[in-house]
């Protein structure tokens, strides 16, 4: 589901600086290169945590799947700093008012609140789309992302199956009220 946090050179940025630097926008046709740039910024460990198995490169089929945004049943929002993509969150319809959630943040920007900003944006977008629940699967060892999800989505439910967690997050109808950068790590 998500990448882990690691100590980075950008890890000492305060929340106000992150809010000022990071811009989030919805992806559309012609934005496929954003997926490539973010994937290239993930370490082997982050790729493993995101895809739940070792991935050295995106297959053509996986890339097509990750870039099949239609704005209705598959939405992707990306975080940018000075025009360079640093993270993506996806909302993928799975029926019955539910959608799958997946997020990744390039290693250099992990631990700065970028993932949290993306999660808050996804929560707001999912609410506007009419979803009542988001679901994600992640590895048990991805504790930092698990904690961020619990902060962004009050009422999160967790089911463990071996080394994997299924996280079910209620989407409230209100817009984000939490400050996306203060004290949150993603």
Helix (H, G, I), strand (E, B) or coil at 46: helix
Provide the 8-state DSSP code for 28: -
Strands (E), 31-156: 74-81, 84-95, 98-105, 133-139
Which among 163, 160, 139 is positioned nearest to 45, based on CA atoms?
139
pLDDT score of 12 = 64
Per-residue pLDDT of the chain (186 residues; tens, 9 = 90+): 544 333 344 556 777 777 789 999 999 988 999 999 999 999 989 888 888 877 878 888 888 888 889 999 999 999 999 999 999 999 999 999 999 999 999 999 998 889 999 999 999 999 999 999 999 999 999 888 888 899 899 899 999 999 999 999 999 854 444 433 333 333
pLDDT score of 18 = 75
pLDDT score of 48 = 84
pLDDT score of 11 = 54
pLDDT score of 128 = 95
The two three-digit tokens of residue 34, written as one number: 């954003």
Q: What is the pTM of this model?
A: 0.83
pLDDT score of 166 = 94
Which among 163, 15, 34, 167 is positioned nearest to 106, based on CA atoms?
34
pLDDT score of 124 = 96
If DSSP states are collapsed to H, E and C, what string results for 130-156? CCCEEEEEEECCCHHHHHHHHHHCCCC
């Amino acid at each position: 589901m998500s990448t882990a946090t690691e100590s980075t050179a950008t890890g000492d940025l305060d929340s106000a600086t992150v809010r000022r630097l990071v811009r989030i926008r919805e992806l559309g046709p012609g934005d496929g290169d954003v997926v490539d740039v973010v994937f290239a910024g993930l370490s082997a460990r982050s790729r493993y945590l995101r895809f739940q198995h070792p991935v050295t490169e995106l297959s053509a089929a996986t890339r097509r799947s990750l870039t099949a945004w239609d704005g209705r049943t598959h939405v992707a929002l990306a975080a940018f700093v000075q025009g360079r993509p640093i993270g993506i969150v996806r909302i993928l319809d799975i029926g019955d008012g539910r959608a799958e959630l997946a997020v990744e943040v390039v290693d250099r920007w992990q631990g700065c609140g970028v993932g949290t900003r993306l999660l808050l944006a996804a929560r707001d977008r999912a609410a506007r789309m009419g979803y009542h629940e988001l679901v994600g699967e992640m590895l048990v060892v991805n504790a930092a992302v698990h904690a961020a999800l619990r902060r962004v989505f009050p009422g999160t439910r967790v089911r463990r199956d071996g080394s994997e967690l299924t996280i079910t997050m209620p989407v409230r109808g209100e817009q984000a009220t939490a400050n996306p950068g203060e004290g949150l790590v993603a």
